[in-house]
Structure 1
Amino acid sequence: MAGEQQLPSVGNRGLDRRGVAWGLVGIAVTVGITFVGSDGLVWFDAALVGYLFGIIFMVFGVIYRYAVWVRRPPTAMLNRRGWDAFKQGKAKNAVALPSLVGTHLIAQGFIRRRSRARWLAHQFVFWGCILAFLVTFPLTMGLLHFESVGQQADEYQVYISRVGTISMDAESILAWTIFHALDIAAVLVLAGVFIFLRRRLRDPGALTVERSGDFLALAGLFAVSVTGLFLTVSSLFLEGRFYYFLNTVHALTVILGLMYIPFGKLFHIFQRPGNLGVAYYKRANEVGEQAACRRCGDEFASAQQIADLREVLPQVGFDYSVGTALDGTSGDEDNYQNTCPRCRRAQVTLAQSTRVKGFG
Structure 2
Amino acid sequence: MGQLATIDRRAAAWGVLAVVVTLAIAIVGSGNLRWFDAALVGYLFGTLLMVFGVVYRYLVWLRRPPTAMLNKRGWQVFRTRRPGRNLLTLPGLIVSQLLLQTFIRSRSTARWLAHQLVFWGCILAALVTFPLVLGLLHFQSVGQNGRQYQAVVAGIETFSFDSRSLFGWITFHLLNISAVLVLGGVFIFLSRRLRDPGALAVERSNDFLALAGLFAVSVTGLALTASNLWMEGRFYIFLNTIHALTVILGLAYIPFGKFFHIFQRPANVGVAYYKQAGAEGEQQTCRRCGEPWASKMQVDDLKVVLPQVGFDYRIGDDAHYQETCPRCRRASVALAQSQRVGGFG
TM-score, with length taken from structure 1: 0.94
**Distance apart, 1:213 and its partner CA:** 2.4
**Distance apart, 1:11 and its partner CA:** 4.9
1:241 maps to amino acid? R
Task: Establish whether residue 205 from structure 1 lines up as the match of residue 198 from structure 2.
Answer: yes
**Distance apart, 1:12 and its partner CA:** 4.4
**Distance apart, 1:174 and its partner CA:** 0.5
Structure 1 distance, partners of 2:333, 2:107, is 28
**Distance apart, 1:234 and its partner CA:** 0.4
- What are the Cα deviations for residues 155-202 of structure 1, in whole angstroms up to 9, with x where unaligned? 001110211111101110111001010000000000000000000111
Task: Establish whether residue 64 from structure 1 lines up as the match of residue 56 from structure 2.
Answer: yes
What residue is the counterpart of 1:194 in the other structure?
Answer: 187
Structure 2 distance, partners of 1:319, 1:209, is 29
Asked if structure 2 preserves the Cα contact closer than 8 Å seen for 1:213 and 1:265, the reply is no
What residue is the counterpart of 2:79 in the other structure?
Answer: 87
What residue is the counterpart of 2:342 in the other structure?
Answer: 357
Task: Establish whether residue 105 from structure 1 lines up as the match of residue 77 from structure 2.
Answer: no
Structure 2 distance, partners of 1:135, 1:269, is 18
1:342 maps to amino acid? R
Asked if structure 2 preserves the Cα contact closer than 8 Å seen for 1:73 and 1:312, the reply is yes
Structure 1 distance, partners of 2:284, 2:148, is 68
Structure 2 distance, partners of 1:355, 1:232, is 68
Match for 1:260 among 239, 249, 253?
A: 253
What residue is the counterpart of 2:237 in the other structure?
Answer: 244
Task: Establish whether residue 348 from structure 1 lines up as the match of residue 333 from structure 2.
Answer: yes
Match for 1:226 among 179, 202, 219?
A: 219
Structure 2 distance, partners of 1:47, 1:350, is 69
Task: Give the gaps of 5 or more residues in structure 2.
Answer: none
Asked if structure 2 preserves the Cα contact closer than 8 Å seen for 1:45 and 1:142, the reply is yes
What residue is the counterpart of 2:67 in the other structure?
Answer: 75
Structure 2 distance, partners of 1:266, 1:22, is 21
Structure 1 distance, partners of 2:122, 2:208, is 17
| Residue correspondence of structure 1 range 112-261 to structure 2 within 5 A | 112-261=105-254
- Give identity over the alignment, percent: 66
Structure 1 distance, partners of 2:279, 2:138, is 51
What residue is the counterpart of 1:14 in the other structure?
Answer: 6
What residue is the counterpart of 1:336 in the other structure?
Answer: 321
What residue is the counterpart of 2:295 in the other structure?
Answer: 302
Partner secondary structure for residue 142 of structure 1: coil
1:53 maps to amino acid? F
Asked if structure 2 preserves the Cα contact closer than 8 Å seen for 1:183 and 1:229, the reply is yes
- What are the Cα deviations for residues 200-229 of structure 1, in whole angstroms up to 9, with x where unaligned? 111111111112222100000000000000
1:310 maps to amino acid? K
What residue is the counterpart of 1:54 in the other structure?
Answer: 46
Partner secondary structure for residue 104 of structure 1: helix
**Distance apart, 1:15 and its partner CA:** 0.7
**Distance apart, 1:353 and its partner CA:** 2.2
Structure 2 distance, partners of 1:11, 1:208, is 33
Partner secondary structure for residue 145 of structure 2: coil
What residue is the counterpart of 1:5 in the other structure?
Answer: none
What residue is the counterpart of 1:28 in the other structure?
Answer: 20
- What are the Cα deviations for residues 33-81 of structure 1, in whole angstroms up to 9, with x where unaligned? 0000000000001111000000000000000000110111101100110
Partner secondary structure for residue 355 of structure 1: helix
Q: Which runs of 4+ in 1 moved over 4 A?
A: none
